[in-house]
Amino acid sequence: MNNGILKKDDLLGKYRIEKEIGRGAVGVVYKAHDASIDRMVAIKTLLPELLQSDKKDELTLRFQQEARAAARCAHSNILTIYEFSEKEDIPFIAMEYVQGEELKKFLKDFIRFKIQDVVVITQQILAGLKFAHSKQVIHRDIKPANIILLKRKQIKITDFGIARIEDDSAEKLTESSAMVGTPNYMSPEQLNTQPLDNRTDLYSVGLILFELFSRAKTTKNRENKPRGYQLRDDIDLSKDWLKEFIPDEFVRVVYTALQKDLGQRYQNAAQFSAAILKGYKAYLIANEKIRNRQTAPSPIKDNTTTTPVTEVNSTSNHSSPPQSINWSPDILKKLELNLAQFIGPFAKVYVLQHSRLCRSIQKFIEALSNKIPDKKEKETFISIVTESCEGSIPDIVAASNEETSPTQTNAKEFDNSLLEDIEKKLAFFVGPIAKALVLKEINNSHSNSDLYRKLSSYIPIETERSAFLSGIGR
């Protein structure tokens, strides 16, 4: 290494440098390898030119404070700090290496986030801040550039370089009269160099929340504004103004988050988080009502022919309970084994599901074949099972309030529209496997709440589980 410039294969303590992965106004970040435990890490050092400047000692202390502040905050939504050290006159922080992009990049590229995305992202930011605040750590520089978005929308809060530890008795690196942070995401009290508490971070989250919804900044460039500049002087913050940018159900949330008066703002991260979830629930309910109005019920024409024996008696009372079919175990096994050749172990789940929905063997085979994506394989499956099940017409067992079939299980019958809605909401968090998970659990669930609980267990991130359960009305 030369004058603090690190190159591939240089050693900094026990860390072997692989490549530079980021650079800011003060520091540079490298991807490195810790051979002692075979782990990839991120190494943050001062910029080479600053290592030679008279600011080195102050910035080294700030590096050390960043490590101390972040080390207090061992949380899944905060980037983990491993150590602070100084080798060969280069101070550095070794921290968790993650593969993701700054939230700033998505906003800069005008990526439009779904409402669910906004909720999941902000819930995680607030979860991380709630933990940091409980450890007496105020970040003071919450902004999109310090939020890393990983796969499956997990986030990590980074850069505690100007964080303040409230119970720190050591000499403060920043005097009360100095303005620190990023002006475009500062609270009014931070811009005016007034005393700060956890609510300054929450204000910054409010700005990010607005920006995620609208893809528009709430403020103009403020770097050149005079010291006494008040944040909201460049816009008229009102609920009517906010409605131009964000969904109605979240207007009150953002409006409260961006209040100048600290007493009118959310007082802690938990309160802010609960308000967002309440807004999301209202949003889902409102949109469900709109969909219901737009999709008026209409007769469904079925042009396919079915075997007369398997049809419901047209002279029966329409108010009587629907009829179900007692499929023979032999037919179910044949269908499962043949379907499994094309889609694997989920065949059993689909067979069980459609055995309760289909009233003819033709419909049963057609429904199962739709689970096979390849057209030729689909045709092969239909040909095989049609031949093997030929002549196997099951008995119809009429369901009644007085009589229960001996083979009937205690599993609850779920409405198809409800299942489709749950599947869509679950898919947001777990992807296309949601359908299979829903089909699997409906056969083991005895109530809506039982089903919701079981499905939520497949979502690994706690804040996402909460968002899912809130979205379905739990």
- Cβ proximity of 456 and 468 under 8 Å: yes
Contact residues for 451 (Cβ-Cβ < 8 A; gap 6+): 412, 414, 422, 441, 442, 445
Helical packing angle, 448-456 and 462-471, nearest 10°: 150
Residue 120 · residue 200 · CB < 8 Å: no
Residues recorded for the chain = 474
Catalytic residue (choose from 54, 57, 109, 141): 141
Strands 395-397 and 155-157: unpaired
CA–CA gap between residue 459 and residue 355 (Å, rounded): 28
Cα(76)–Cα(7) distance, integer angstroms: 31
Cα separation, 108 vs 19, whole angstroms: 25
State yes or no: is 141 an active-site residue. Answer: yes
Name beta bridge partners: 95.
42, 81
- In angstroms, rounded to a whole number, what is the distance separating the alpha carbons of residues 254 and 208? 10
- Which residues make Cβ contacts (< 8 Å) with residue 290, sequence separation at least 6? none
d(CA 334, CA 361): 12
Catalytic residue numbers?
A: 141
